[in-house]
Amino acid sequence: MYDDQEDDVDEDDDELTAPCPHCGAEIYDDAERCPHCGEYLSEEDRPAARRQWWIIIGASACLYAVYRWTTG
C-alpha cells in the first residue's frame, strides 16, 4: 500500500516540471526563467527591451534641427 502512494507522489512531481526549450533541463511549469541557462521561457516573460541607441540619437538630431529652425 505504501508503494502505491510513493508512485503517486513521483507522478505528481513529473507533471509539475517540463524541459526548458533552450537547454532541456527540467524546470517547474510556472517558472518565468530557466534557473540553469537563465533564458526566459516566453516573450511575455522577458522584460521590455531598452531603447536602441539610434532611436535616441535620431530623436536628439530631430530636436536639434527644430531648435535651429525656430531660432535661426
Per-residue confidence (pLDDT) for residue 51, from 0 to 100 = 66
DSSP state, residue 64: H
Find cell 503517486 and name the residue. 8
pLDDT given at position 14 = 53
Query: How many domains is the chain partitioned into structurally?
Result: 1
Q: Does the pLDDT at position 5 exceed 70? A: no
Q: What angle do CA 7, 3, 12 make, to 5 degrees?
A: 15
pTM: 0.45
Host domain of residue 33: 2-71
Comparing 10 with 61, which gets the higher pLDDT? 61
pLDDT in tens, 14-50: 568 899 988 999 999 888 899 999 998 888 777 777 7
